[in-house]
Amino acid sequence: MLSSRSGRFRLRLLPRIIVFATVAYVLSWISGFPLQYDDEELPPSAQRPKPSLEPFPVEPDKLVVTVKTTAVDAFAKVPPMIVMTDGRYHDNLLFMGDLHMDVGIWHIFDVLDRYDRTFLDKTPEMERYRRQLDYARRSIPLSTIREEDATEEKEALRKLDKYKILRMLEKAWEMRPERKWYVFMDDDTYLARSNLLSWLGQFDNEKPVFFANPPSETVEPFAMGGSTIILSVQAMRSLFVDHEKLIPRWDSRLQARSSALDVIGTVLATETTLKMNNTWPSITGFNPNTIPYGPGMWCELMIAMHSVPSDLASDVFRFQRDREEFQHVRDPLSYADLWLHFMQPENLDKERDDWDNLSSGSDNAHWNILFEGVDKENNANRNQEPRAASGEESWESCRNSCNNSDFCVQWSYSSTEEPNYNLNPPTKCHLSRSMRFGSHVAPGREDQTTWTSGWRKDRFQAWAKQQRCKEQQN
């Protein structure tokens, strides 16, 4: 009797077990559905690029960052850079310049004091440095040494930079030898360290490597490169271990070089046959307000931006910190991310007076739209590009010209004819295939050029939504 009841119990239980197992299987199957389509399920044109960064970034203590500053700028530019550098990177952060100074607890090393007095006295390009030492000895405010003309001041500092660069490398090697990577940058450069550490993980530091993105007087987009230099430990060894006393041998040859980057590039090419690897667009002279947003830069990671004002650098720092520490975003910061944070919230639906959105700049020549009637005989490389009607009569005509050109995403109108730095003749109307924010241009004298600028943000956003380089653009 007992066995009969047990058998009936097992028979009643069996269907329940089958139902439970079936439900569990279905649930596990459904849970396996992707929350979104895998790239392999999308057409090739809609698939996201594969991640380009290795999962093993360089350890922070294996990266040395040396910042070049000047006696006249140190107190204004060094403190913000220290504040905007995570404390875990401070041990390998060095400041070097043209006068021994202390900014709080941070010492700025004078790398020009490595030249002997005879060399300093007989070298004309060292006149600024000699005068600076004299002012410091006599307690004359160093701010008074600055040239009134901005171009002359820039030229004076450019000359000193040629004599700084090799001594900076030498000093960094002495203070932090045998690290994996060495970065040398200006005091107005924003460095995205997490991106840099991940990006460098792709390369073998035991091979001689030289990264830079040279500034240039050309109109090509890579011209805006800043002066950030990255060297592997093996490249540094080639200068300071394999070639002892190499640096002094170049002292007499520095005057003939055009810039600090020309110096280091020539020395490496001559002494080690090491050539520069260009890093455009990840290292750039643009900042969030001047970046030409569009194809070619959109999905690229940002490693360093040159000529970034401190207030804007602070905004980038806070944005990067928030996404990494609080939002736990692990994707590398890209130019698309900068657009979404800095440009998308801006109200660009109405034109702005006294505003230059940089449509006509020399660094925008690559994206400037050619007008109808431009001589095709001399412009074979751009013959296939769409043309736009000239809008010279007024800013309204210029706006209409942009609206009628499918590829135009912004325009600017100048009160006087200005060059486009391309095959267009000087013009008042400037149309662009890239979107840039630009800045306010205060009206001045009556004979001064004034600007009106406008954007087709709706057109650009429609393009941006089609890009699949990361989740934020879906």
pLDDT digits (tens, 9 = 90+) for 367-378: 999 999 876 555
**Domain boundaries defined on the chain:** 60-284, 349-457
Please, which residues bridge with residue 332 across strands? none
The candidate with the shortest Cα–Cα distance to 416, out of 391, 400, 445, 392, is 392
In degrees and rounded to multiples of 5, residue 172 shows phi and psi of -65, -40
Fold held by 349-457:
Hepatocyte Growth Factor (3.50.4)
Question: Class for domain 60-284, per CATH?
Answer: alpha beta
pLDDT of residue 23: 41
Question: Are the CB atoms for 181 and 234 separated by under 8 Å?
Answer: no
Distance of CA 3 to the CA centre of its chain: 81
Tokens linked to 53: 């960064």
The yes-or-no verdict on residue 423 having pLDDT over 70 is yes
Question: Are the CB atoms for 274 and 243 separated by under 8 Å?
Answer: no
What is the average per-residue pLDDT within 178-196? 97
DSSP state of 368: B
Range of weakest confidence among 8-12, 151-155, 204-208, 391-395: 8-12
Question: Are the CB atoms for 452 and 351 separated by under 8 Å?
Answer: yes
Burial label, 446 (beta-carbon count in 10 A; 0-12, 13-18, 19+): exposed
* pLDDT bucket at 441, cuts 50 / 70 / 90: very high
Distance CA(27)–CA(446), nearest Å, equals 75
Describe the strand order of the beta sheet including 229-232 as a list of residue ranges.
101-103, 106-110, 93-97, 63-68, 181-186, 229-232, 210-212, 277-278
pLDDT in tens, 235-294: 999 999 998 889 999 999 999 999 999 999 999 999 999 999 989 899 999 999 999 999
Kindly report the number of other CB atoms within 10 A of residue 366's CB atom. 17
pLDDT of residue 443: 84
pTM across the whole model: 0.84
Distance CA(438)–CA(453), nearest Å, equals 9
Tokens linked to 143: 């701010």
pLDDT in tens, 47-75: 444 444 556 899 999 999 999 999 999 99
The pLDDT mean for the chain works out to: 86
pLDDT in tens, 68-105: 999 999 999 999 999 999 999 999 999 999 999 999 99
Q: Are strands 181-186 and 283-284 parallel, antiparallel or unpaired?
A: unpaired
Distance CA(146)–CA(156), nearest Å, equals 9
Task: Using the Cα atoms of residue 83, residue 87, residue 88 and residue 93 in order, give the sign of their dihedral.
Answer: positive
The candidate with the shortest Cα–Cα distance to 192, out of 309, 301, 57, is 301
Percent of the chain with pLDDT over 90: 75
Q: Are strands 63-68 and 304-305 parallel, antiparallel or unpaired?
A: unpaired
Burial label, 37 (beta-carbon count in 10 A; 0-12, 13-18, 19+): exposed
Q: Where are the beta strands (DSSP E) in 407-456?
A: 410-418, 427-432, 439-440, 451-455
